[in-house]
Amino acid sequence: MEISEKDNELVMKLLHYFITEQEYSPVILHGAQNEIWLENFSSDYKIVRIVTNYIHNNEQLNFDIFKTRQIAKKIKSKTFSFSINVMSIFLNLGDNVVLENGEMINKNISCVSLKDIKDLEKHKLIIDAFPDIAKETNFKEQGMELFVKITSEIGMKNETESKKAEEVFKEKKPVVTYGLIAINVIIFVLMYILGYGSTNVATLIRFGAQYKPLVLNGEYYRLLTSAFLHIGIIHLLCNMYSLYIIGSQVENFYGKAKYLVIYLFSAFTGSLLSLLFVDTISAGASGAIFGLLGSILYFGYHYRVYLGTVIKSQIIPIIFLNLLIGYLTPGINNFAHVGGLIGGILISKAVGVKYKSSKSDIINGIIMTVILTMFLIYMAFFK
């Protein structure tokens, strides 16, 4: 069915509002005709549909809701979302379709019938979710002037968002990662030059390995220095390879300064948690590396439109597999892994994800990070 000029203008005004004012982005769906899907996973309504297709009766409406729910389930799975609320804005409902006051809520799908832009103020569902929509869709321009203004501003908004995404995902040289690897390798070599090797207990303690009696006796620096020591060449090679692969991505996504904060704090929380349960000598960068995995997990949640599939198919399985190996393999300090993972997620929330984290997200992250740190310190040193 061909869309009328009136409906076309209404669609343009709604698109302008949701894209430029509410940060929604178009969703590309194959086979979906006479409807536009928009997504914003920071909004209460993660999906907004603008439907121009003619709905003759309630049976067709019910089928449309069923179809919408199936597509929403796929988006939910792909984007690693716990729930998805959808608002369907129908511009062409037939007289045989019965909606109370032009609105209906069917579980996670809200339906609104709209005939004119002025009808927005009549719908509590829309006004509650988007209080400024009536004001922001009230244009003085008309006809071609309105069309040019709307398309130009939507184009500028899309271009800005594309530049932001390009900036975040653009590959950068992982200088900090190279530096961390170099420090670990240099210290490993020095353990042979100045000591008796990387597996010698006395040498490990001399170079700063974590040992509970010494840490509790005031040698707190071991909580960090232990993350730069490795017991044997295999331990070093495995951790440095993991650091190169994972660290390069985290440095790319967060930037050098935030990446270094995430790495060191994850190493610190990994050491603190292991201090509660491990009495033997402990060393290695794996706690910090698990923190980097946690930071990718947090980043992927915010950019799940881009990384949702990768998070589900790769990152989460890698985390669980390595934790399982840690529990099943003797001699592996899995408490450092868990502590690093938790610390990595929380400190990532505290430092924030570029263009995605709000001030309240960062403040909450800082509060949660401080609480975690104080709790672990209390349990390790004062309990």
Catalytic site includes residue 230: no
For 127, counting Cβ atoms within 10 Å of its Cβ (0-12 exposed, 13-18 middle, 19+ buried), the class is middle
Of 88, 113, 282, 286, catalytic: 286
- Name the residue with tokens 């399982």: 324
Annotated active-site residue 302? The verdict is no
% helix, strand, coil for the chain, step of 5: 65, 10, 25
Q: Write the pLDDT tens digit of every residue in 95-105.
A: 888 887 778 88
Query: Does residue 308 carry a pLDDT above 70?
Result: no
Domain boundaries, the chain: 5-168, 171-381
In this predicted structure, the answer to whether residue 309 has a pLDDT above a threshold of 60 is: yes
Half-sphere exposure of 310 (CA within 13 A, CB side): 13
- The model carries a pTM of 0.82
Q: Which one is catalytic: 113, 337, 348, 357?
A: 337
**CB 212, CB 279: distance < 8 Å:** yes
Tell whether domain 171-381 is in CATH 3.40.50.2300. no
pLDDT band at 5 (very low <50, low <70, confident <90, very high): low
Burial of 258 (0-12, 13-18, 19+ CB in 10 A): buried
**Residue 29: partners with Cβ closer than 8 Å, 6 or more residues away:** 37, 71
Query: Alpha helices of 55-208 — where are they, by DSSP H?
Result: 58-78, 124-129, 133-136, 143-169, 175-193, 201-207
Would you say 251 and 174 are in contact if contact means Cβ atoms under 8 Å apart? Answer: yes
Per-residue pLDDT at 145 exceeds 50? yes
Tell how strand 25-27 and strand 35-39 pair up.
Answer: antiparallel
Which distant-in-sequence residues (6+ apart) come within 8 Å of 24 by Cβ? 18, 38, 39, 40, 43, 48
Tokens of 277: 């349960």
Could you give the percent of the chain with pLDDT greater than 90? 56
